[in-house]
Every structure is written in C-alpha cells, then in structure tokens.
Amino acid sequence: MADNGRSPEQKRPCHHVPQPGDVNGSTVDTGCGTVDSGCGTGDSGSSGAGGSRSSSECFDEEEPKLSRVRRRTDSCRKNRPPFPWFGMDIGGTLVKLVYFEPVDVTAEEEQEEVDNLKSIRKYLTSNVAYGDSGIRDVHLELRKLTICGRTGNLHFIRFPTQDMLGFIQMGQDKNFSSLHTSLCATGGGAFKFEQDFATIAGLELCKLDELDCLIRGLLYVDSVGFNGLPECFYFQNPSDPDHSTKHSCSLDNPFPMLLVNIGSGVSILAVYSKDHYKRVTGTSLGGGTFLGLCSLLTGCQSFEEALEMAAKGDSTNADKLVRDIYGGDYERFGLQGAAVASSFGHMMCKEKRESVSKEDLARATLVTITNNIGSIARMCAVNEKIERVVFVGNFLRINTVSTKLLSYAMDFWSNGQLRALFLEHEGYFGAVGAFLELLKPSEDL
Amino acid sequence: MAELDRVEKSSHSLDKSITLPPDEIFRNLENAKRFAIDIGGSLTKLAYYSTVQHKVAKVRSFDNTAKEASSEKLYEISVQEEITARLHFIKFENAYIETCLDFIKDHLVNTDTKLIKATGGGAHKFKDLIEKKLGLKVDKEDEMTCLIRGCNFVLRNIPHEAFIFTKHADSEFRFQNTHPDIFPYLLVNIGSGVSIIKVESEDRFERIGGSSIGGGTFWGLGALLTKTKRFDELLQLASKGQHTNLDMLVKDIYGGSYGSLGLTGDLIASSFGKSATTDKEFSKEDIAKSLLHMISNDIGQLACLYARLHSLTRVYFGGFFIRGHPVTMHTITYSINFFTKGEVQALFLRHEGYLGAIGAFLKGAEEDNPNQYSWGENYAGSSGLMSVSPDINPMQRARSGTFDMLEMDRLERKLVNLPLLEDPSSYVPDTVDLTEDPLAREYWLFCFEDALDGVVKRAVASQPDLPEAVERAEKFRQKYRHKLQTLRQQPFAYGSLTVRSLLDTREHCLNEFNFPDPYSKIKQRENDGALRCYQKAVAALDALGWEEKQFALVRGVLAGNVFDWGAKAVSDVLETDRDFGFEEAKQKLEERPWLVDSYNQWLQRLKGPPHKCAVFFVDNSGMDIILGVMPFVRELLLRGTEVVLASNSSPALNDVTNGELQILTETIAAMDPIIQAGLKEDRLVLVQTGSSSPCLDLGRLDKELTIVVREREADLVVIEGMGRAVHTNYFARLSCESLKMAVIKNTWLAERLGGKLFSVVFKYELPTPPPPAAPPMKEEEEEEKAVFSP
C-alpha cells in the first residue's frame, strides 16, 4: 500500500496532475462520461504480468504509471475514477470480486447517476447470492471505509471461474460498457479472458500482476483493520490442535514475511518491504489438488462438501503412521509414532481399501495437502531465514483443520521458532489489490 | 520413510512350484556363511559370503642346477587351487521366499552359521519362516543404517555405480566415475514414504527430513483411483497417460505463460486442478500420470530444498519407487532439473535394490572387516542392470526379473588411485564410451563375438591334460556369448560399455570356468624364444651411436608391441607363420612421422638430465617385454634413472604377469650385468598393478605400487600397448612427464584414428604447468579428441 501507516481515513485532495510521460494527460479535461480512448490499446500489449510487476516497484515514485490504469475522470470530481469501483481476481478455480458501495451519495449525485449504475449497486448489495454460484461473503464486509474521498462499504463476492463466461455475458446484458469504467483485474484469468471481455462485453480490462496485487491488498486490509478488529490471527497453543485457540494479533511490523498463498496451486513469496518481494517457489499441490482428488475419491461436488466430509473422517484409516511400521516411535531418527509415514500408505492393501470411508479419504487428502504445504513453507522459511509465515488463499476458507494443522507443523518442526499467521480475508487480497490499483494515482497525488 | 512394510498380503501367494537351477542361483552355498536378508514389499534380497575355489596359474623357475638337462624351458607352469572370497547377492520376488529358503537349507553344508542379519519391512513378517526353515536366529538391523552402509560400499567399490538418467538421449544412462571421496552426499530414499538422509562419513549420517508423500502414496492413491492393484501396472498406466487432462496448467489459468515469473504455460499450476471443476470421466492412464507427476515433482522439490539448505550437490535417489523404473527416474530427473535449474543432477544407482542387504551383511561381517579390502564386481556372475520397462521388453523382464544377482570378488590387494594423476576426481580411464557411440559399439561387439572361437580353442589347448576342458570351454563360450548379447540389448548393463569392460568380462568368464591362463603355454614358448635373442639384441644396440640407439630402443619397444595375441590381425599371423620374428615385426611398423609422433621432443628430453624414477606399465610377454621393454629399461638405468616395472597381478591374454616377470628379469640379470646391478642396488624393482586386465585403470591400482611411486618420487610414467595407452589412458593427464607407446593392431581403430594397420602412437607429454594466473590451456587435448570423433 502506498499509504502504509497513514490513516486511509485522512482526506486528501484528489486531483489529477498530468505527469511527464503521461500519454493520457490530454484526456484529463474531457467531459464527464467521455472515454479515454487513448490508453487502452497501447496499454493492453504491455501490461502483461511483467509490466505490472514494475508498477509495484514504482508505486510511490514520481511517475506513477498512469498509463496502466484507464482513467476517466468524472466531471464533478475530476481526480477519481467514476463509479462503479471494482477489483477482480480471476484465479484458476475462483473469481474474487470486491465492490465498493458508496454510502455518501448525495441527492444531487443520485440524480446524475445513470440507471445502470444504480441497478448494479442494488443488485450487488441487496443479494447475498448471485445466480447459481455467486456468493457474497457478508461476514467479511468492510464497513464505513473512506477511500479517495468517498465513504462506503467494501463487499466481497466470489464465484467459480467456470462461470466466468456467464459473468461476462451478464456484463454485456447489463450494458456495463456504457458506464465507461475501468475494470481492474488480476489473476491468470485477467489474461485468459481478456479477449472475451473485449468481444462479448465490449470491456477492456486493466490487467495487473497477481502477486503485486496480493501484497498490496494484504497490507491495505491489514492496515485498515477488520471493522475495528485486527485482520490477523494465530493459534495459541498450536502443539495441541484440539485445544488451540484463535487469537487476534496485528501485523504491525510485517517485514520480512514469508507469504504462502494457497489457491488452486501454491505460491510462496518472501516479502521484504511493501514493494520488494520475490517468489521463492511454488507447488502444484494446492487447493485445486485437494478438491480435485477429493472429487475423484468421494464424488463430492464442492469445496464445502469436501471439507464437511473431511471434518468427519479419520485420516489414519488411509495413512500409514510411523507406529504402524515401527510399533511406536522411530527413535533412531526422532520420529513420533503418530507422524504420517506414508500418505495413503494403507491403501496399498486391498482389505484396507475396502474398509476405508469416503470421509476418511477426504480427511487424508486434506491432511496430506496441508502437511505438504507446511513442510515446503517451513523449508523456505529456513532457507530464507524468515520467521513470520503468513498463510492466505481460499484453501483456508472455513478450513480450521488446515489452519490448525499448519500452526502445529510450523511450531513443531521449528521448535517454536516459526509462527503461522492467518488473515480473515484469506482469499480476497488480490482482488483488493486490483481495486486499489483503480484508485491508486489519485491516492498518490 | 524407508522401505517399509508395504507387503501386500493378498497379492502374492507363495510360489513353491519353481525349480531352482543350482548352477546359476545361490552358487557356492557349500561354504556360505554370514547370511543377511532384506525383505521389502515385493522383493527379497539375500546376501552371503562364500569362498570360491578356483584354479590359478603359477609359474616357478626350474631349479637350474638340478634339472638343467631335463628341459629347455625356463620355468614351469602349474595350475593351483586358490581360495578367494566372494559376496553373493540375490534378489527375487517374495513369492519364492519359501522355495529359496528350502533350497538354501538343502545346500548349506557349513553349519557354523547361527545368525542371519535381517532388515526391511518384511523381515518381521517372515521371521518365523526363516528361523524355522534355516534354523538360524534372525537378528534385526536398523533399516536406514543398513541402507547407508550398503550405499557407501557400492559407491566405493563399484566403478560406474551411479548414473544420471536422460530419457530420449542416445544413451539414457550416463555413468559417473567413482569419486575418490564419496562424502558428503544426500540419499533420498523413496519407499512408501520419503526419507532424506545426509551422509557425511562411514558412520555419520542423519535423517534431515522426509515426506509422507512417497511410493506408498502413488501406489495407495493409484489403487483407489484406477482400481489397479500392482505398482508396476500403475507405472505402466502412467507411461501411457496424459497429465494435462487432469492437471491445471499455467496456461489453463493464464491462457499462456506467466512471463514475469518465468513460468511457462505448460507448467502444472495445480495438480488434479481440472478434476475439481469438471464432471467428466478421466482415464486410468491420465489419472496415473498426473499422480506420478504430482509425487515426483513434490519429492524433487523437497530434495532440492534440503540439498540447498545443506549445500550438497550429490543427491542419490533410491527406494522401490525408483528401482530401475525409467518412468520414475525420468520424472524425478525432470523435477530436480526444474527446481535446481540444472545445478543439481539426480543420481541413481545400479545396485540400488541391494543396498539394504549389503548393509545388513556388512553389519554381520564386521569382524571380517570387509571395508579394509577392495572388492570388484564379477561380470560373469552378476546379472547387470535390467532396467527395461515391461512394455519395452516384457519377456526379458519376466524371465530375468525373477532372479537377479550381484557377485563381488574380494580383491587380493587394496586398490587406490595413482598419486600422479593430475586430477583423480575427473580421471576417466576409457577413451571411448561405447554406450554413447553406437558405431564403435557395433564394431567391438562384433569383434569380440568374432574372436570367441579362437579364445575357446586356445582355452582348450591350454589344458591338454584335462579332457573335460572341451565341455568347460563350451560353457564359457555360451556364457560369454550371452553376455555379449545382453550388452547388445542393454549396453548399460554393467556401467559404461568399453573395450576394457568387454575384455574384463571375458577374463571373468574364463576364470569362472577355470581357464585361469589360456595363454600360459604360448607365453612360455615366446618368452623362451625371446630370451635366446636378448644378448644379441642388446649387443646390436650398444654398437649404435647415441642418437641411433635411442631411436632403435623406441622402435624396439614398438616392434615388441606388435606381438599381441589379443589382436586378431596379429594372432592370425602368429598362428600361421611360426617364423614371424622381431625383425619381421619391425618391418610392419609405420615409418615416421608416426600417426602420433612426439619423438623429437622425447629425444630432446633425453639430452637433458636423467629422470629420477620411471614407472613402466608393461604389456605383452615374449618379444615385447624381453626384446622391447628390457633394453629400454636398461638404457634408463644406464642414464641413472630408477625403474619400477609394473605388471599385472594375474593373467590376461598374453600380458606378462608379475610372477613371470620376476623369473624373466632374474634370467636376464644373469646375462646382463646392468640389469643385475639394477636389481642388486634396488634401482630396478618389480611391482604388481593389482589388475588382471589387458587395460589399465590408473584409478584402481595396488596400494603397494602407489607407495613405491610416492617413495621414489617417480617423475616419468611410461604406458605401453594398445589396451593400456589407447583403449584406456589415451587422454589421461598426469602430474609428471608421461610417455604412451602403442602399435595400432586393428584396422578399424587405426582408420578411426586416421591411420592404418600398424600405425604408431608415440605420445610424450609434459604435465600441465601450474596455472600462473590464467586457467590451463586445454586446446591440445581438444585437438587429439577430435581424432577420435571423425
């Protein structure tokens, strides 16, 4: 975040000053509703992940890359983008959408507001489910947020990436393009669906790097807090997962941190400052693997269903433990009897395959994937000499089994050196980062 | 985790119907002791120590005073019985365990043995059976300790034990030279789980990490997802599948690559990610493939993280997940390359399956102190690497996969590297790796096959008093022909295929059928003949002026080197023309300039101060040693140079052995006061190389020899003959002056080198000067290498 440590409530004049190199400078004074046609095309070619990466590096510098964000100034308050304000993160499995609902709309403003815009606001804020698969995470809503001179609520919405084309179609149906807004999007889908947005809905995306957005969004949400409460939490007494308890904490001095983002796959970043980070490694064994394997093994239809099954299962019916082999601990190597020696190891045996339940298999899948992520994260933390490990991503949503297991693994294998931290808005930071990008230049100036 | 109790109880019923051929499997049980057994999930590995009685050829001088009239021969040849130690390792399917135990009990004569060392997950399960059948008490040993012990043992004793695997390359197996120092290394053992072990010395090792996602996960999840029960079948499925149907790739999310992070579109972003969102049916093959990729990548990643954390670059992979399966070796190699960006190479071991059994055996044999000896793989008794996947060669695997064997001979001498090697860790004895050169391979395999009749004939002729020699020789023929056939199919069976390994395999097979020295009679006849000409030859040389003499001496060595029964072009001449002598040989020699000719530099060097000590690796008996080498040695002695004559410990072709050379030298000393004085003053010494090969591995020489070399501060190494100076050591760099002399007695090789039959290699080299600032120049070497790759 640009204003890390500075209260976002602080009202600052937002105005757009043309900058050297700002190819769109000439469009500043165009009237309300005029589309800045100059920035779109030249932009789309260069705004690949590589380009936007550097935007993170010069976030605060003299020349904000205005060209990155399509900017249409509204006639009344020239210096901020017109509504609606969205940020979008199109992942491999889920699309995450944040929507800013202004609550300080004046009567005059409301008069001016086009119907279209009104109906979008209404549709999004009065429903908690959209179509068959869209869901608004009401409990995550950030209320009375003041940003860029406006106060409003930030809504968090998700739907499966599979339904992306339907979403774009809806954009077309609702004539979204007539609003001439910038649609800031990150995640792989921003690239993959760019063409569809353009051809179906006549919308041009502003594509942003997902890791840039992730970090920016995370730091921002942490800095504004969760409606007065801290965003961050950890588990106290992690060595006893049955009795460990969730505790809030602040991420006051977050650097360096190892950021483990568990989406469909996993990316592990070492973050040294708000604009200095590197991707250490990643693994393809992530949330997608959990759900994919679970649906093959149990026929479950959704993440929720998979987790429900896992909650009821016993992984030791599928996994072979150290004590199954050695009768107890393997002392020569300091391995506890209860440690998993071979994930799904019992399933080599026909009798055990016949007696295992779907719930057991779901649990074993969850435990396997989680432990593996924990193990890789721990190794990275040691290699990078970082003690703070922050886990985010939608795999952790409603997934206490995994969060507790990760807390346990970090604590146990490091003899208490490492602490696993989690964030309430686990999967939404990329979308928030994209949303902030939309507002960024006005924030900066 | 190590190889755990992944015994699938119902899948194998014990098979008692098999009949074991006693000549081939569980050999030498009569004297067997120190049993060890490693029972894994599907395979049992049995180890035992035995002594082998076999014939060796000895030479002994006649007592000249008493028997002078009785024989014209200089020495007598006798064949004696000798007992040597051999380690036997046999690998078979658990289904045969009972049959095998019965067989062992029936054939075990020695009853001293009370214990059997056991390791592996199945050891517990079969404990009662073993104790009941064999009457031996089962003594369990820690699995990981056995594994490491075994690993150290094979790395130290078996050249070309480790290899890297490259799918689609000309030669999929690229063997690594034995590094003089095997530590430290990382062993990633992929059994049902994964154990990552850092090994720092023989006794110091530590499990630094592991993972529960291993072979058991592949097998267990694979069985659940594909309803395929057997591990091998799962791998077979995987090799036919497409992982992209289930895995979510970067391009599935991005539509292309994720350029800024350097993640290509084909990279797997989420294993099984597509099966989470698609309801369609997936094929068993595709599921198995995705599973294999997921697990291999994960293990590779962890291995890299640990290797980096501990700054280790040598990473060996083992366990039943790997065990010779090209599919898993390929995916693991791929993963390691990806995660380390090529900095670390995945290494695999030829005898990986035996590590536990070897280790358990070593634990039981500690009082024999097996680690104080050097051991050598016996090519005649070992099955070789049979890593053909069932779908490539199903029959082969079904048959030879049943019983796999490794036999190791205890060598008489402890072998170490020549201290004069410029860089022992990068020394490669062999000039051409036939595994990587299909043309050369084709030629040499043909050559050895073609020469087989002659070898058989000579073997029979060497034992005229033994009528069953014909039958044995026939068995030898079958055995060696079978080896050649195996090598044609699997050139990598015993490590890199080289002319040396082909020769050594033939020697091992000859010994196996008690033909310790087929050339003994020929050598004797030729030695006698040459000795009669010695004085005349020396007198003729002494009559020459200095420069002519030096040249004549070199030509003498070269002419002598023509007398090589190992070369068909020569043996054909020698068989038919009994009068072919030293002078005729000189006529055959190429005129200067030779194919490789640094004679002028050598002559220039001789004008300078004498060498302190020369080590001369000699070749053939007869004309070669007596009329070629000895006068040359005599001249060195005259110059004031001490000479160490290094000859084979045991017979190979018509190469002179140390035993023979002792007698020859004494006889010559009796005729030649200079040789006499040299011996008396200890300025001429005879030492054995520890080898019984027509080639020369300077990395494995008798420790005694290396001590002499060091003590006498040798500053010149002379290597003579095609086997020692061309097939091997042609590119060897030494830290002192070296002289390589040979006559090319093979048209094909001569042409390959750009010469013709009887072309001469005379290669005098100075050591690479110590680098002043710039790195040493290697251009000269490059040029010469070019000769070998026309």
**Chain A residue whose CA is closest to B231:** A348
Nearest by CB to residue A332, choosing from B144, B192, B282, is: B144
Closest Cβ opposite residue B214 in set A53, A191, A342: A342
CB neighbours of residue B332 within 10 Å: 26
Query: Do A344 and B270 make contact, defined as CB atoms within 8 angstroms?
Result: no
Measured between beta carbons, the chain B residues lying within 8 angstroms of A213 are none
Cβ distance A288 to B273 less than 8 Å, yes or no, reads: yes
Cβ <8 Å between A288 and B207: no
Choose the mutation target among A343, A355, A368, A405 for the interface with B, i.e. most B CBs under 10 Å: A343
User: Which candidate from B4, B209, B252 shows the least CB-CB separation from A341?
Assistant: B4
Q: Residues 273 to 312 of B: which have CB under 8 A from any A CB?
A: 273-277, 282, 287, 294, 297-298, 301-302, 305-306, 308-309
User: What is the structure's pLDDT at A441?
Assistant: 62
Give which of B13, B148, B260 to mutate to test A binding, by max A Cβ within 10 Å.
B260
CA B232 to chain A, closest CA, distance in angstroms equals 13
Cα–Cα distance measured from residue B732 to residue B763, given in angstroms and rounded to the nearest whole number:
11
Instruction: Compare all CA atoms of chain B with the CA of A91 and give the residue at the minimum distance.
Output: B253
Put simply, the answer to whether A320 touches B258 (Cβ < 8 Å) is: no
CB-closest option in B225, B261, B271 to A284: B271
φ, ψ of residue B414 to 5 degrees: the values are -80, 130
Q: Distance between CA atoms of A210 and A190, rounded to whole angstroms? A: 9
pLDDT in tens, B527-578: 999 999 999 999 999 999 999 999 999 999 999 999 888 787 788 887 787 7
Beta-bridge mates of residue B684: B643
From A22's Cα to the closest Cα of chain B, the distance in A is: 24
CA distance B151 to chain A (A): 18
- Note whether B722 and B595 are within 8 A (CB): no
pLDDT in the model for residue B24? 66
B11/A318 touch (CB, cutoff 8 Å), yes or no: no
**A342: nearest CB among B11, B216, B274:** B216
Closest CA to B209 of B308, B141, B120, B293: B308
Q: Please choose, from the candidates A372, A423, A295, the residue with its C-alpha nearest in 3D space to the C-alpha of residue B281.
A: A295
Residues on chain B touching A363 (C-beta within 8 angstroms): none
Do B305 and A380 lie within an 8 Å CB cutoff?
Answer: yes
CA separation for the pair B479, B485 (Å, rounded)? 10
The answer for B 309-338 residues in CB contact with A (under 8 A) is: 309
Is the minimum CB–CB distance between B124 and chain A shorter than 8 Å?
no
Residue B91 in contact with residue B26, Cβ under 8 Å?
Answer: no
What are the backbone dihedrals phi and psi of residue A318, each rounded to the nearest 5 degrees, phi first? -110, -35
C-beta of residue B636 within 8 angstroms of C-beta of residue B643: yes
Q: Is B593 exposed, middle or buried (0-12, 13-18, 19+ CB in 10 A)?
A: exposed
Select the residue of A51, A188, A351 nearest B258 (Cβ to Cβ).
A188
Q: Tokens 């031996």 identify what position? A: B136
> Is the ipTM reported for this complex over the cut 0.90?
no
List helix spans (H) across A58-209: 107-112, 115-126, 164-173, 188-192, 194-201
pLDDT of residue A337: 87
Shortest Cα distance, chain A CAs vs residue B259, angstroms: 6
Task: Determine, for residues A292 and B275 on separate chains, whether the beta-carbon distance falls below 8 Å.
Answer: yes
Q: Which of residues 190-209 of B touch A (CB under 8 A)?
A: 191-193, 195, 207, 209
DSSP three-state, residue B423: coil
Residue B294: name the closest of B304, B302, B283, B282 by CA: B302
Q: Give the integer Cα–Cα distance in Å for B443 and B453.
A: 17
**What is residue B23's predicted lDDT score, i.e. its pLDDT?**
62
Query: Strand A232-236 vs strand A245-249: parallel, antiparallel, or unpaired?
Result: antiparallel
Question: If contacts are CB pairs under 8 Å, which of residues 648-687 in chain B contact chain A?
Answer: none
Residue of chain B with shortest Cα separation from A358: B224
Chain B residues close to A191, C-beta within 8 Å: 254-256
Contact B269 A288 (CB under 8 A): yes
Q: Which residues of chain A have pLDDT under 70?
A: 1-79, 441-445
Q: Rounded to a whole number, what is the distance in Å from the CA of A267 to chain B's nearest CA?
A: 9
Q: How close, in Å, is residue B109 to chain A by CA atoms?
A: 35
- Of A101, A194, A210, A443, which is the active-site residue? A210
CB atoms within 10 A of CB B98: 16
Our answer to whether residue A210 is catalytic in this structure is yes
Q: How far A123 CA sits from the closest chain B CA (Å)?
A: 27
Instruction: Give the whole-angstrom CA distance, residue A322 versus residue A445.
Output: 60
A333, B260: Cβ pair inside 8 Å? no
Q: How far is A10 from chain B (nearest CA, A)?
A: 35
Chain A residues near residue B301 by CB distance under 8 angstroms: 281, 283, 376
The residue assigned the tokens 């949303």 is A435
Is residue B268 within 8 A of residue A305, CB to CB? The reply is no
Burial of residue B583, with CB atoms counted within 10 A of its CB: 0-12 exposed, 13-18 middle, 19 or more buried = exposed
| Residue (of A210, A213, A126, A132) closest to A170 by Cα position | A132
CB pair distance less than 8 Å for A92 and B271: no
Nearest CA in chain B to A193: B255
- Is any Cβ of chain A less than 8 angstroms from the Cβ of B13? no
Q: Chain A: give the shortest CA distance to residue B348, in Å.
A: 22
Asked if the Cβ–Cβ distance from B270 to A380 is below 8 Å, we say: no
Dist CA B87 CA A402 (whole Å): 51
Q: Which residues of chain B are within 8 Å of residue A322 when distances are taken between CB atoms?
A: 1
Per-residue model confidence (pLDDT) at position B22: 56
Q: Nearest by CB to B258, from A49, A193, A376: name it.
A: A49
What per-residue confidence (pLDDT) applies to A45? 31
- Nearest by CB to residue B220, choosing from A286, A333, A346, is A346
Chain A residue with minimum CA distance to B234: A348
- C-beta atoms of B212 and A368 within 8 A: yes
Which residue from B minimizes the CA distance to A49? Answer: B260
Element at B647 (helix H, strand E): strand B642-647
User: CB of B372 within 8 Å of any CB in chain A?
Assistant: no
Residues of chain B scoring pLDDT < 70: 1-24, 62-72, 109-111, 386-402, 771-790
Q: Give CA–CA dist A361/A179, Å, rounded.
A: 49
Tokens representing residue A137 in the block? 């995470």
Task: Check A371 against B212: CB less than 8 A apart.
Answer: yes
Q: Cα–Cα distance between B217 and B211 in angstroms, integer?
A: 10
Beta-carbon contacts below 8 Å between A and B: 231
Query: Sign (positive/negative) of CA torsion B378, B383, B387, B392?
Result: positive
B677-727 pLDDT per residue, tens: 999 999 999 999 999 999 999 999 999 999 999 999 999 999 999 999 999
